[in-house]
Amino acid sequence: MASAAALVFGVSANSMAQSEQHAQHGVAAGQTAQAGHAGHDMPGHEMMQSMQAMHQKMSSMQMSGNHDHDFATMMRSHHQAGIDMAKAQLKHGKDPQMQAMAKKIISDQTKEIKKLDQWLAKHPAPAK
């Protein structure tokens, strides 16, 4: 439960910090995707896109009030972002150790997502 709360608050704080950083660099909070599009060939862009998508999805999630369900839902998004970043590493990275780690992350987190999906299928969100 503490982990889920820390994750939620960490995502919110990180999202606000990113908005402030973008504003300081002359990019308003709503323009981050447009600004990033101009440099879509820059190294790391795919990883930043996956992180931004995860932060957006997680910060806009409606909490069900059931900590177990909320944790599983948020962790699913977190793991998917890890997979997306690992795929970008395989596509662009060169270091054999990082390539191996990316493959392991994809394998491990795919299994975790499957477990989370199975749990979520058996435990739907409570009706509000």
Q: What is the pLDDT of residue 38?
A: 45
Residue 32 has pLDDT above 50, yes or no: no
Asked if CATH classification 1.10.10 holds for the domain at 2-122, the reply, yes or no, is: no
Q: What is the pLDDT of residue 51?
A: 76
Taking residues 30-38, report their average pLDDT: 42
Q: Report how far residue 25's alpha carbon sits from residue 36's, in angstroms, rounded to the nearest whole number.
A: 12
Q: Report how far residue 49's alpha carbon sits from residue 32's, in angstroms, rounded to the nearest whole number.
A: 10
- Using an 8 Å Cβ cutoff, are 66 and 125 in contact? yes
Contacts of 92 (CB under 8 A, 6+ apart): 43, 46
Rg, Å, the chain Cα set: 16
* 117-128 pLDDT per residue, tens: 999 999 988 876
Q: Report how far residue 5's alpha carbon sits from residue 94's, in angstroms, rounded to the nearest whole number.
A: 36
Please state which of the ranges 34-38, 93-97, 116-120 shows the lowest mean pLDDT.
34-38
Structure tokens that stand for 74 in this block: 């948020």
Please state which of the ranges 11-20, 22-31, 41-50 shows the lowest mean pLDDT.
22-31
Q: What is the pLDDT of residue 57?
A: 77
* 50-83 pLDDT per residue, tens: 778 777 877 777 888 899 999 999 999 899 989 9
Return the domain boundaries, the chain: 2-122
Average pLDDT over the chain, rounded to an integer: 75
